[in-house]
Amino acid sequence: MTSRMTPLLENNEQFAGTYTPVPLGLPAAKVIVVTCLDHRVDPAIILGLKLGDAPVLRNAGGRVTEPVMEEIAFLAFLGQKLSGRRATGDVGVEVAVIHHTQCGTGFLADPDFRREASAATGVDEATLEASAVGDPQISVSADVERLLASPLLPPKMGVSGYVYDLENGRVTTVVDTQYR
Ligand SMILES: [Zn+2]
């Protein structure tokens, strides 16, 4: 039986042919990436990440939501456990938040669009509004601040912010690594 997955599963056959397992441990790049789920924004491709390099958390806009903060807290805990650093409080990884230009969530800044999207999806308007990325420089700065202000963020964990420009493929630094 063929489906839209058929060519992708064929790709996987090729991948599995030369696959080398990566043991569970700290991510090699020592970075947790938070970014948009947009199919034009794939951190593995734009940042050259390989298997085992970095956990990636993706949602609409790449926004630092409560669930994202909970995931980061858990990943930090797990990383400390796996690396035996729990006692020292050294998290060993930092967070990079990457927003991008031309984000589809930008439409959500328009109240009419937002109302229609809410009615169609059942997601409340406030949640939709919170995921909007209009100016990525502004939203990424706000999200770095939000993470730094969260009690869920482990002490000594660095956070930085970037914008990925879909026009030229370039990632630029908006907020250098900050600590709480
Ligand atoms: Zn987006």
Q: CA-CA distance, 79 to 71, in Å (whole number)?
A: 12
- Paired strand residues for 56: 33
Which one, of 47, 14, 31, lies nearest residue 158 by Cα? Answer: 31
- The β-bridge relationship of strands 94-100 and 56-59 is unpaired
Q: For tokens 């809410």, what's the residue?
A: 118
Query: By mean pLDDT, which of 88-92, 134-138, 141-145 is the weakest?
Result: 88-92
pLDDT the model gives residue 34: 98
Ligand 1: distance of its center to the CA of 165 in Å? Answer: 11
Query: How remote is the CA of residue 21 from the centroid of ligand 1, in Å?
Result: 31
8 A C-beta contact, residue 35 and residue 43: yes
What does the pLDDT read at residue 105? 94
Distance 89 CA to ligand 1 centre (A): 34
Dist. CA 174 → ligand 1 center (Å): 17
User: pLDDT tens, 48-84?
Assistant: 999 999 999 999 999 999 999 999 999 999 988 888 8
d(CA 155, CA 138) in angstroms, rounded, equals 25
* pLDDT surpasses 90 at 97: yes
Q: Are 163 and 171 in contact (CB under 8 A)?
A: yes
Cα 104 to ligand 1 centre (Å): 5
Q: What is the pLDDT of residue 177?
A: 97
pLDDT value at 89 more than 80: no
pTM for the full model? 0.94
Cα(17) to centroid(ligand 1), Å: 33
CA of 25 to the centre of ligand 1 (A): 29
pLDDT at res. 151: 94
pLDDT of residue 85 exceeding 80: no
pLDDT reading at 150 higher than 90? yes
Q: Which residues contact 63 (CB under 8 A, 6 or more apart)?
A: 105, 130, 131, 133, 139, 143
pLDDT bin (cut points 50, 70, 90) of residue 33 is very high
Give CA–CA dist 41/21, Å, rounded.
25
- Percent of the chain beyond pLDDT 90? 86
